[in-house]
C-alpha cells in the first residue's frame, strides 16, 4: 500500500477514482465538501436535502459531478458537528477505505484528516487513515485452493489531502500508521492460520524471518532441551501433552547506530513484551466443549501480537530497546499430559498445583515472566488470550488491563485511546490472592469461579516482583467469532506500538 500526501490547492481538479469529503448532519459541509459543492454548482447540498442524512459510518457515492475531475465523490457521514471527535474520524476513514476496497478501486484521495477535532492532531488523523487502509486491504487466502474466487482488494494507493505547510506532520503520521498496519497484518495472518500450519516451530521460523528482514532485530529460538536446561517446569508441563515440540523465542530490537546516537537509549533499560503462544488449546485433560473449539487456534494471539509489534518497532526503528519473549506450545490431552491435581515446579522455584489443565496459559507465561528478569527491564507487558472471564466482564470492546504499577497502566490506557484500541484498567487487590491458596503447593492455578480474570492476573503477579508489570487479557478482543467477519483483529498491536512510540520519545 502506497500512502502519501496530496498538497494540490485545486481540489476540484484532482484526478482520482474516488475523492472522500466529509459532511455533517443538518446539511453542514466540511471545507473540502464545500469546495466541491461550489465547483459542482450545489450538487452536494442538493443530495443532503433529499437522500443522505450523514450519519456516522454511512456514505453516498456521487459520480461525474460537473466541474469536478474525480470520477467519484464519496460523501462520508460524520454525524453532528458538535459531537465530532477522533474516534468518529477513524470510523470515517475506515468507511472510505472499505468502500474503495470493495469497489475494486486502485487508488483514492481522502480529505477527512483536514477536518480538525478537539482530541486529535493532524499526525494522529493521518495515522488513522493508514490504519484504515491496512484494515481494508488485509486479505486471507493462505489456505484457499482457488484464490481467484476470493480476490484480494485492488486498492494500492491512498492519498491524504492537506496543505503544503502541514505535509511533513501528515507524512509522519502516515509512516507510523503504516507500520502499525503492517504489524497488525502479520498478527492477523498468524492468528488466522490453522493450528496444523502455525505450530510453535512456525512461530519460531517467523521470528527468524523478521530478523532477516530487519537489521535491528536479533533472534534466538530455544528448543526443548534448552528450555529444560532453564528449569521451565511449568511451561514444559503444558507442552508435554503434545507431539509438537515447544519453542521459546527471544526477539530483540536494538536501535540502529544512527538512531541511537540521537539519544541516550543505550543507558536505558529495555521494555519487554511477553506473549502467550498456545498454537492450539484443546483444554488438555480438562477438555473444552467441541462447539467453537476451532477458534482455539487463536490462543497464540498474544505471541502473534508480540511478533506484529516487533515488526512495527523495527520498521520505525524506534529509539528504544524492545525485547519480545514468546513461550509457545500446544495444550493437548494424552498419556503424558498434565492431570488435575499434578504439582509442577516453575522456573522461579514456586510450586503450582494444577486444578484445571485448561488454565494452561498462566502456566506457560509464569516461566516466561521469570525469564524476563534477566534483562533488568524498565517494564514488562504480557499479552495473552487468558480467560473467558475477561470476555464476560468486558465483552469485545475493551482489552482487560491489570498492572502492578499505576503509571504504567495509565500510559497503556492513554496509548490505547490515541489509536482507538481501548483497554480498561481492572482491579487486582491483594485480597483476591487468597483464592489461589493450595494445600499441596505454593499456589493453585485457578481461584474458583468468581473473579476469574482477576485471579488469573493475581497468579501472574507472583512471578513479576522484580519489575513494573502489566498484563493485557485479550481473550475478548484478539479475534472476531462467526460470520463473514470471523478472524483475527490484530489487537492490541496499535496500543502497544503507540505506547512504545511514546516511550522512545520520552
Cα torsion 442, 447, 453, 456 to 10°: value is 10
The whole-angstrom separation of Cα 391 and Cα 452 is: 10
Residues 356, 411 within the same domain? yes
Residues 258/317, Cβ–Cβ less than 8 Å: no
Considering only CA atoms, which of 430, 283, 442 is closest in space to residue 366? 442
Shared domain check, 328 and 226:
yes
Strand partners, 481: none
Of the candidates 42, 146, 119, the one whose C-alpha atom is nearest the C-alpha of residue 420 is 119
pTM of the model: 0.97
Q: What is the CATH number of the domain that holds 335?
A: 3.40.630.10
Question: What's the number of domains the chain is made of?
Answer: 2
CA distances from 21 to 32, 74, 169, 393 (A): 6, 6, 21, 39
The residue from 137, 161, 191 where one domain ends is 137
Helix, strand, or coil (residue 477): coil
pLDDT at 441: 98
Instruction: Please confirm, yes or no, whether 362 is among the known catalytic residues.
Output: yes
pLDDT at 261: 56
pLDDT at residue 266 in the model: 53
Same domain, 119 and 268: no
Cα–Cα distance, 207 to 213 (Å, whole number): 10
**Domain stop point among 85, 116, 137:** 137
* One domain for residues 133 and 185: no
Classify burial at 225, counting beta carbons within 10 Å of its beta carbon; exposed 0-12, middle 13-18, buried 19 or more.
Answer: exposed
| CA trace torsion 37, 41, 45, 47 (10° rounding) | -110
Residue 314 covered by a domain: yes
- Is residue 168 in some structural domain? no
pLDDT value for 412: 98
Kindly report the backbone phi and psi dihedral angles of residue 156, in degrees, each rounded to the nearest multiple of 5, phi listed first.
Answer: -120, -15
Contact criterion met (CB below 8 Å) for 491 and 304: no
- Same-domain status, 122 and 191: no
Which residue in 320, 362, 462, 491 is the catalytic one? 362
Residues 110, 193 within the same domain? no
Q: Write out the residue range of the structural domain in which residue 384 sits.
A: 178-505
Beta bridge partners of 239: none
Domain boundary among 137, 164, 191: 137
Question: Is 288 tagged catalytic?
Answer: yes
200 in any annotated domain: yes
Q: According to the model, what pLDDT value does residue 147 have?
A: 76
Mark whether 110 and 246 lie in a shared domain: no
Is the domain of 210 the same as that of 318? yes
Q: What is the pLDDT of residues 80-92, one digit of tens each?
A: 999 999 999 999 9
Residues 6+ apart with CB under 8 A from 427: 454
Torsion (CA) 168, 174, 180, 183 in degrees, nearest 10 = -110
Which residue is catalytic, options 45, 208, 240, 288? 288
Q: Three cell numbers at 62?
A: 456521487
Stretches in the chain below the pLDDT threshold 70: 258-267
Same-domain check for residues 411 and 356: yes
If asked whether residues 121 and 184 sit together in one domain, one would say no
Residue 101 lies in a domain: yes
pLDDT of residue 260: 59
Q: 437 in helix, strand or coil?
A: coil
The three-point CA angle 278-211-298 to 5° equals 20
Residues 131 and 221 in one domain: no
**Is position 397 within any domain?**
yes
Q: Are strands 343-345 and 423-425 parallel, antiparallel or unpaired?
A: unpaired
By the 8 A CB rule, do 93 and 135 touch? no
Strand partners, 382: 274, 471
Residue 169 lies in a domain: no
Considering the domain boundaries, does residue 378 fall inside one? Answer: yes
- How far is residue 493's CA from residue 102's CA, in Å, rounded to a whole number? 25
For residue 164, tell me if it sits in a domain. no
What element of type H or E holds 390?
Answer: helix 388-394
Helices (H), 244-360: 257-260, 301-316
CATH number of the domain that residue 22 is part of: 3.40.220.10
- For residues 131 and 245, membership in a common domain is answered with no
Amino acid at each position: 500500500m502506497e500512502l502519501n500526501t496530496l498538497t494540490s490547492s485545486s481540489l476540484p481538479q484532482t484526478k482520482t477514482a474516488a475523492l472522500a469529503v466529509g459532511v455533517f448532519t443538518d446539511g453542514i459541509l466540511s471545507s473540502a465538501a464545500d469546495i466541491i459543492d461550489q465547483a459542482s454548482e450545489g450538487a452536494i447540498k442538493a443530495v443532503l436535502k433529499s437522500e443522505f442524512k450523514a450519519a456516522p459510518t454511512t456514505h453516498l457515492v456521487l459520480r461525474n459531478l460537473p466541474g469536478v475531475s474525480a470520477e467519484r465523490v464519496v460523501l462520508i457521514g460524520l454525524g453532528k458537528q458538535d459531537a465530532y471527535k477522533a474516534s468518529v474520524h477513524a470510523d470515517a476513514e475506515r468507511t472510505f477505505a472499505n468502500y474503495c476496497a470493495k469497489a475494486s478501486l486502485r487508488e483514492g484521495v481522502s480529505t477527512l484528516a483536514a477536518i480538525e477535532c478537539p482530541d486529535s492532531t493532524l499526525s494522529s488523523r493521518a495515522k488513522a487513515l493508514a490504519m484504515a487502509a491496512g484494515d481494508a486491504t488485509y486479505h486471507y487466502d493462505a489456505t484457499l485452493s482457488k484464490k481467484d474466487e476470493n480476490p484480494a482488494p485492488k486498492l494500492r494507493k491512498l492519498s491524504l489531502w492537506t496543505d503544503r505547510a502541514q505535509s511533513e506532520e501528515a507524512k509522519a503520521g502516515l509512516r507510523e500508521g503504516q507500520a502499525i498496519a503492517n504489524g497488525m497484518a502479520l498478527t492477523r495472518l498468524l492468528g488466522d492460520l490453522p493450528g496444523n500450519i502455525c505450530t510453535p516451530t512456525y512461530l519460531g521460523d517467523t521470528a527468524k524471518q523478521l530478523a532477516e528482514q530487519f537489521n535491528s532485530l536479533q533472534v534466538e529460538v530455544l528448543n526443548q532441551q534448552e528450555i529444560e536446561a532453564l528449569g521451565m517446569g511449568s511451561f514444559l508441563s503444558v507442552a508435554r501433552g503434545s507431539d509438537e515440540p515447544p519453542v521459546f523465542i527471544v526477539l530483540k530490537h536494538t536501535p540502529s547506530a544512527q538512531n541511537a546516537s540521537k539519544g541516550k537509549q543505550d543507558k536505558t533499560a529495555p521494555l519487554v513484551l511477553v506473549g502467550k503462544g498456545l498454537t492450539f488449546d484443546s483444554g488438555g485433560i480438562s477438555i473444552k466443549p467441541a462447539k467453537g473449539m476451532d477458534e482455539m487456534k487463536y490462543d497464540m494471539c498474544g505471541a502473534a501480537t508480540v511478533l506484529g509489534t516487533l515488526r512495527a518497532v523495527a520498521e520505525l526503528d524506534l529509539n528504544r530497546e524492545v525485547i519480545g519473549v514468546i513461550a509457545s506450545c500446544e495444550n493437548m490431552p494424552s498419556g503424558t499430559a498434565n492431570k488435575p491435581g499434578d504439582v509442577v515446579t516453575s522456573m522461579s522455584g514456586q510450586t503450582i498445583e494444577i486444578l484445571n489443565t485448561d488454565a494452561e496459559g498462566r502456566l506457560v507465561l509464569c516461566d516466561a515472566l521469570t525469564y524476563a528478569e534477566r534483562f533488568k527491564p524498565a517494564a514488562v507487558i504480557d499479552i495473552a488470550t487468558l480467560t473467558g472471564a475477561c470476555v464476560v466482564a468486558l465483552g469485545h470492546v475493551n482489552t482487560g488491563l491489570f498492572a502492578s504499577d499505576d503509571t504504567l497502566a495509565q500510559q497503556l490506557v492513554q496509548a490505547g485511546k490515541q489509536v482507538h484500541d481501548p483497554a480498561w484498567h481492572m482491579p487486582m487487590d491483594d485480597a483476591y490472592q487468597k483464592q489461589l491458596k493450595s494445600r499441596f503447593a505454593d499456589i493453585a492455578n485457578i481461584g474458583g469461579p468468581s473473579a476469574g480474570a482477576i485471579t488469573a492476573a493475581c497468579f501472574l503477579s507472583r512471578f513479576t516482583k522484580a519489575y513494573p508489570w502489566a498484563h493485557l487479557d485479550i481473550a475478548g478482543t484478539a479475534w472476531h467469532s462467526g460470520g463473514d467477519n470471523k478472524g483475527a483483529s490484530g489487537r492490541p498491536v496499535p496500543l502497544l506500538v503507540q505506547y512504545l512510540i511514546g516511550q522512545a520519545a520520552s
